[in-house]
């Protein structure tokens, strides 16, 4: 019976451990209608999960996990629901994960190469976005909706 209990505990703890392939410490600035943050954060990811953990003065204040849903400390929701609550309803479902990973947004519309990276300018009746990705920094700025994401390496 003792061995069965040990095996059961081992299996439960093994399933709860998340193995991320990449972990990066970044300076993160977020300004949106529902989120305001400027401090250190960790971006962790594996093939199918991205996690953004935000800290203020060394204390964790928010964790956002992205897979098929987006989970925050307030609960889990669809990606479109997250966009509607935290960003803007017109954004594509995958925008948050693409920003965190430095991938193209809006199907790479208006993408131009710049030194060591790329830039996209997207303008419509709903958005006025400039998105710039370089090896050491990511900038997403939607002037129309007053949303900013800045992610940069710690120097």
pLDDT tens by residue, 118-149: 999 999 999 999 999 999 999 999 999 999 99
Whose tokens are 């040990």? That residue is 6
What CATH code is assigned to 19-153?
2.50.20.10
Domain ranges of the chain: 19-153
Classify residue 10 as left (phi > 0), alpha (psi -120 to 50) or beta. alpha
CB 101 within 8 A of CB 89: no
Collapse the DSSP code of 28 into the 3-class scheme (helix H, G, I; strand E, B; otherwise coil) and give the result.
strand
Predicted TM-score (pTM) of the model is: 0.83
| Residue 15 CB partners (closer than 8 Å, separation 6+) | none
> In terms of C-beta distances under 8 Å and separation of at least 24 residues, what long-range contacts does 67-74 make, across chains too?
70/96
The model's pLDDT over 57-100, given as tens digits with 9 standing for 90+, comes to 888 899 999 999 999 988 999 999 999 999 999 999 999 999 99
């Amino acid at each position: 019976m003792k061995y069965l209990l040990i095996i059961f505990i081992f299996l439960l703890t093994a399933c709860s451990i998340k193995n991320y392939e990449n972990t990066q410490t970044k300076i993160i600035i977020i300004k949106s209608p529902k989120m305001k943050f400027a401090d250190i954060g960790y971006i962790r990811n594996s093939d199918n999960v991205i996690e953004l953990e935000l800290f203020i003065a060394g204390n964790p204040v928010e964790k956002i996990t992205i897979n098929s849903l987006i989970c925050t400390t307030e609960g889990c929701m669809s990606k479109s629901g997250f966009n509607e609550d935290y960003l803007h309803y017109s954004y594509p479902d995958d925008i948050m994960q693409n920003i965190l990973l430095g991938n193209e947004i809006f199907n790479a519309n208006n993408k131009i190469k710049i030194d060591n990276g790329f830039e996209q300018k997207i303008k419509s009746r709903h958005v006025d976005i400039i998105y710039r990705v370089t090896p050491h920094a990511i900038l997403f700025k939607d002037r129309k909706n007053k949303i900013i994401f800045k992610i940069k390496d710690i120097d």
